[in-house]
Structure 1
Amino acid sequence: MPRPMTQLTLSGEERERLEKEFRETGDVRTRTRLGALRMLCGGTHTLAQVAEAVGCARSTLQVWVAAYRRGGLEQAVLREKPGASSSPMQDAGLQQQLRENFAAGAFRTCEQMRRWLRATHGIVLHLKAGYYWLKSFGAKLRVPRPVHIKKDPQAPAAFVAGLEDTLAALPLRPGRPVRVWVEDEARFGLHTLVRRCWALPGVRVVLAHQRKYQWAYMFSALEIGTGRHVPLWMPGVDLGITTTFLEHLAASEPGAEHIILWDGAGFHPRPELHPLPAHIHLIRLPPYSPELNPVEKLWDIVKDGISNTIFPTLDLLYEHGLVPELEPFKNPNRVLQLLGNSSMIASVNASSIR
């Protein structure tokens, strides 16, 4: 047997007042209760139908109806618990303080924000509410890039600002084309590199991996103007091996002057201490500033491609891992896309040597 329809009987004046408050109220919760009462006035819906329409439980709707019958509209919309608008987190000044602290890096976890609110403003914020406010500020959970404690924060910007002058001061032979390279090297070995992978819901990913301590090094140089890529797979790193790579790079275009931007690794030769191949000019990047070198992005792409795979030997790692991953970078357009247009790349392209 179906449930009987529920009807509220309101006087003409009370009905007009209900309609007026329903139209004018700006509070969502109050409007929900008034909307439910409006539907019940028609006598064409059951309590269950009205409850489903306004998004509440049938028992909650019964409480609202009983409240109306006890004290009219005032009693029906009265809430014993304050709404969200009464939260101290709604204060615009407090929200601005939180945004400024986030911008300054004062909060790295939700718990740090909650402790600050409790200690500074006496606000006890539930963890779930903390996540809500983090999202409302536009905050995103990110993995920080490690930065060496000795890094000078002003050094990268100062290097880029003076790069055009540094390039102009190099003893380049007139009449020869100039190639500007960014160079780096990375170690690749037989120890399986584990990274995140896709899986269906409910499937636990299990990966076989090996611990084999054999490795070699991939040297890689990207030319900023033409998008050329010169890689070289070497058994290790030292001054002699690095010099061999510089000779290999110079031989890729013997008629050009080659300028190389790279870091200050101990196995990188220094012009004032070590002999260099002809037509090679070196510029050291600031210490602990890998973000200036676009080749770092290349290594991340390669490692992502060879991850979660077992290579029994270094030859197989090179032939079936590194070579396929580096193949797209034979295309100059792909290299130029990887290089991007950072301030350092823009300074090189704008310099008088080009």
Structure 2
Amino acid sequence: MIKIGIVGGTGYTGVELLRILAVHPEAQVQCITSRSEAGVPVADMYPNLRGHFDLAFSEPDPAVLAGCDLVFFATPHGVAMRMVPELMAAGVRVVDLSADFRIKDLDTWARWYGMPHEAPEWAANAVYGLPEVARNAIRQAQLVANPGCYPTAIQLGFLPLLESGLVDASRLIADGKSGASGAGRQGKIGMLHGEVGESFKAYGASGHRHLPEIRQGLAAAAGQPVGVTFVPHLVPMVRGIEATLYAELTTADDFERLQGLYEDRYRDEPFVDVMPAGSHPETRSVRGANHCRMALHRQEDSKTVIVTSVIDNLVKGAAGQAVQNMNVMFGLDETLGLKAPALLP
């Protein structure tokens, strides 16, 4: 059994981790922390977990966390980087669901997150945890930076085109839409149902903090700097991300070959589903599941390839991918605890 600690367990990603780990046959949650809710039984806050966990939230205790095999951080940005060095010294493995270790250029990180980075040596050594790209490095990693939700859907959608060099890497467009749970569980007026319902808007159009992470991942796939325009949108649903991606072909490749390119790239990936060309993946088809579904489109007499990519922002975009990374790190079947199909309706 893998002894698990979760730091910051009261948010949506924390409870999603608990939901997944409750049925994971090789994971045992030893502790789950929350400074604000210390002493409160987990099942009192999240009644869906009654009968699955007898734990109560506790204050973060480095000594207790050091007794775990792996610790998940489901905390606001800036928390993990202060606690991780001590856990690393104790030999604990970590999957960080915040952005603290995702971006390698720490000046860029500080500019977007508004604080200096406090663990630069570990930022340099962290493995970016997109299993479809870095599986071998994840197996050996002590610290894995779990990708963000938008970056997951966007990178998976663009990867085959960039890896094959078939598109102009300087002219990529990512149009993303997310449900309200992507903003977290904090009480914010802008996230109230009366504010979000019956409305649809763009945000962060002048620049969003996921942009440098997206840029970094796509540049690695392309083997060169990329130019990407990313605009996120808030839609009136609880969970789910849809990313519509646009890229300009630089060759005369026929559309059938592009479809084959995607099918070949993801043939052995358990959590990426390339749908038939012309399909329109729906967010409800991945709700509660660790899958990314995508489909290719190309309009008549156009050199623009359109990729539509959907994930559940709390699962493949957060907690599910974190458990997938844990499975890889400990040499388990990568799908363990993650085989449940999506919820419909």
The two structures have a TM-score, normalised by structure 2, of: 0.22
Specify the structure having the higher radius of gyration (Cα). 1
Which structure shows the higher strand fraction? 2
Which structure shows the higher helix fraction? 1
The two structures have a TM-score, normalised by structure 1, of: 0.21
